[in-house]
Amino acid sequence: MIITKKKFKELPDFPSYYQLSLDLFAKGKTTGANQNEAYLHYTKLSLARTKRGLKTLFPSDELKSTAANSSRKNWLLITEAWCGDAGNIVPMIANLAEAIKEVDLRIALRDEHPEIMDHFLTNGSRSIPIFVAMNSDMEYASHWGPRPRPAQKMVMNNKNNPQVSTEEFQVQLQKWYLEDRGATLDKELVEYLKL
């Protein structure tokens, strides 16, 4: 168990987290420890993606059925408002949670909860978003994240053998998300929730 029922219930739900992100950005701030122009720019992009995704990224019937039939209805999402991948992923999970009324989706901010985040490192780093579906006893088998496998492969290839600048790569990655339209994420969440 990485989190108690009490601690889980103390975390914000998605609407509260989203509103906090919008309110902070309106004040020239973001979530997390990095309060600089770059992170404000990332937050602006991520919030725009989240807004669009909430209107366009809807779970398939198979994903809704899989989630409804899963015994794991306590969902934890570790993220930050500035995370570019989160802007492309969180809306699908939020829309799925909205569709399955028994699901309780809570958000843990990575930088505020290292005691949670450090259970889900990716190659030793605090990569986000991370999605953890737990049962009523707050037990889980595994986690999903920080991004769909093809996108993760792109990131690792570019990290290990950079061919373009960071800025160019971010454009390429966002293009992948836009062309994929959540299809790969949907399939991977079906796989994950069937475990």
pTM for this prediction: 0.96
Other C-beta atoms closer than 10 Å to the C-beta of 150 total: 12
The rounded distance, in Å, linking the Cα atoms of 112 and 25 is 18
Which tens digit of pLDDT belongs to each residue from 42-52? Answer: 999 999 999 99
Which tens digit of pLDDT belongs to each residue from 128-173? Answer: 999 999 999 999 989 999 999 999 999 999 999 988 998 999 999 9
The rounded distance, in Å, linking the Cα atoms of 116 and 120 is 8
**pLDDT at residue 1, as a whole number:** 75
Residue 77 structure tokens: 């999402």
The residue whose two tokens read 């505020």 is 112
- Domain range for 33 is 5-194
Look at residue 22 and tell me whether its pLDDT is greater than 80: yes
pLDDT-based confidence at residue 2 (cuts at 50, 70, 90)? confident
- Looking at the 3D structure of the chain, how many domains does it have? 1
Tell me, what CATH number does 128's domain have? 3.40.30.10
113 and 7 in contact (C-beta within 8 Å)? Answer: no
Residue 159 structure tokens: 């990290």
**pLDDT at residue 32, as a whole number:** 95
> What are the φ/ψ torsions at residue 189 (nearest 5 degrees)?
-70, -35
Which tens digit of pLDDT belongs to each residue from 62-117? Answer: 999 999 999 999 999 999 999 999 999 999 999 999 999 999 999 999 999 999 99
The rounded distance, in Å, linking the Cα atoms of 171 and 175 is 6
Three-state DSSP class for residue 22: helix
**pLDDT at residue 87, as a whole number:** 97
For 15-24, what is the mean pLDDT?
98
Residue 94 structure tokens: 């939020």
- What crossing angle do the helices spanning 166-180 and 149-160 adopt, rounded to 10°? 170
